[in-house]
Structure 1
Amino acid sequence: MVNEMRVNYEITPLTLAVLAEEIDGHYTSVVMEDDQRFFVNKPPSRLIDYACKFFGSSLRGRQEGTKGICGITHKAPISIDPSSGMYFFPTSSPLNPDCSWISHSHIDRILKISTDHSAIIFKNGSNVTLEISHGSLLNQLQRTAQFRYLLDNRIKYLLKNTIDIVAEPF
C-alpha cells in the first residue's frame, strides 16, 4: 500500500522499481523498495536522471554509454552505478511521462497476465503488474542482461590490466 508522499528520493541498490503514476494530470513516481511503496513528487525519468547525476553522469549520458557499448538506441537500459549493481531498464520511451524504470538485479521472474499486461515478481516476493506485453518485457530484460555482461567485462578487463600500475610520486 502506498500512503506516503516524499519530495525527494535517492535511488539505492535496494530500489526495486520506480513506477509512473498519474495523479490529477501530474506524473509522480511510486517507488518500490523492499517491503515499502511510497510516492515521490517527481516523474520516474527525473528520479533516474538525478541518480545518474549523483554518480557523475546523466540519464542522457548513460543512454549514450549504452549505445556505445552495445548499440542499443531505443528504450536503452542504463547503469546508474555498475559497482553497486544498479542497472535499470525503461518500460517505454523515457521521453514518455508514463515510463517506469525497473531494477534488473531484483527481478525473479516475469509472468504474462494478458496480451498487454505482465507481472514482475521480485526476489523479495513483492510484485507489480504493468501495462507492457510479456514479449516486450522479456526483451528489455534480455537487453539489460547483455548490456550488463558487456559493461562488467570491460570493467573487469580494466581492473585486471591496471593492477600493476603504480601512481607516480609527486
Structure 2
Amino acid sequence: MNRLHYQIHEETMYIVPVVNGSYIESRVGEAYGEGIDCRLTPNKLIERNCRNHSQNYAARKDLSKTLTGITSKVPIIVDLFGSYIYFCTHSDRVSENNWFNIKHIQSYSNDEGMTRVQFSNNEERIIDISYASFNNQYLNALKLHYKFNQQKEKYQKKEMNMHFQYPMAGRGEVAQINESIYHSYINYINGLQIRDRV
C-alpha cells in the first residue's frame, strides 16, 4: 500500500526514488521491518518532514550552509533535537534524488562505477553514483554533524553555568532558565540564517 506521507524517525535509514509509471515516488528503508512506499518524491518527503519539525527546507539548507560553508548538494538536519542528518546524491532540483541518514551508513564501496552501501541492519543497496561523489557527500554530512554538535556543546555549557549560578532555584525556576536557553539557541540559529542571506 502506498502512503501519501511518511514521518521520518530515528530508524529511517534512506529515502530513494522509485519510478511508478510517469511518476517518481519514494521507497523508505527502516532499520527494522519491510520498506515503505510513499507517493511523494524523496525531495518532497524531506521538505514535508522539515516543516513537521518547525522549519521549512530552505531554512534548514541555510543553516547547513552557514555552519559548514557547503553550497552544493547541501546535507540537512531534518530534526534539530533528534539530529537526523541526511545527505543527498544529486541536486535537490532532481526528482530522482536519494537521501541517506548518516547514522545508518555502516560502510560503502566502489561497485563497477557505482556505490554499494551497507546500512546498519546489514541491508545493501547499489546506488547509481560514483564512489568518489558518494564519499564526498558522506564527508559533507560528517562535517555538518561535527559543526552542529560544536554549537550544541556551547549551549550545553551555558546551561551548566546557569545551573551552577542558580543552585537553589526551584524546579519551576530551572525550567524557566532552560526555556530561556532554548530560545537563545533558536534566536542564535535564526540570526545565522539572516546573516547568511545578507
The alignment's TM-score, normalised by the length of structure 2, stands at 0.79
Who is 1:106 aligned against? 104
Who is 1:152 aligned against? 149
Structure 1: any 5+ residue segments left out of the alignment?
none
1:163 shift after superposition: 3.0
The CA RMSD over aligned residues, in Å, is 1.4
Query: In the aligned structure 1, how far is the partner of 2:42 from the partner of 2:56?
Result: 14
- Identify, as 1 or 2, the structure richer in strand: 1
Report matched runs for 1:28-67 at 5 Å: 28-34=25-31, 35-67=33-65
1:88 aligns with 2:86: yes
Query: In the aligned structure 1, how far is the partner of 2:24 from the partner of 2:58?
Result: 20
1:38 shift after superposition: 2.0
Report the structure number with the largest CA radius of gyration.
2
Who is 2:180 aligned against? none
SS at match of 2:70: coil
Query: In the aligned structure 2, how far is the partner of 1:123 from the partner of 1:33?
Result: 10
SS at match of 1:36: coil
Query: In the aligned structure 1, how far is the partner of 2:39 from the partner of 2:11?
Result: 19
SS at match of 1:153: helix
Poorly superposed stretches of 4+, deviation over 6 Å? none
Q: How many aligned positions are there?
A: 164
Counterpart of 1:22, as a letter, is: V
- Contact kept in structure 2, 1:13 and 1:85, CA below 8 Å: no
SS at match of 1:69: helix
The alignment's TM-score, normalised by the length of structure 1, stands at 0.91
Tell me whether 154-163 or 99-108 shows the greater mean CA deviation. Answer: 154-163
1:126 aligns with 2:123: yes
Query: In the aligned structure 2, how far is the partner of 1:152 from the partner of 1:57?
Result: 19
Who is 2:9 aligned against? 12
Query: In the aligned structure 2, how far is the partner of 1:79 from the partner of 1:159?
Result: 19
The one-character-per-residue Cα deviations of 1:63-115 (angstroms, maximum 9, x if unpaired) are 11111111111100011124323110011001100011011000000011112
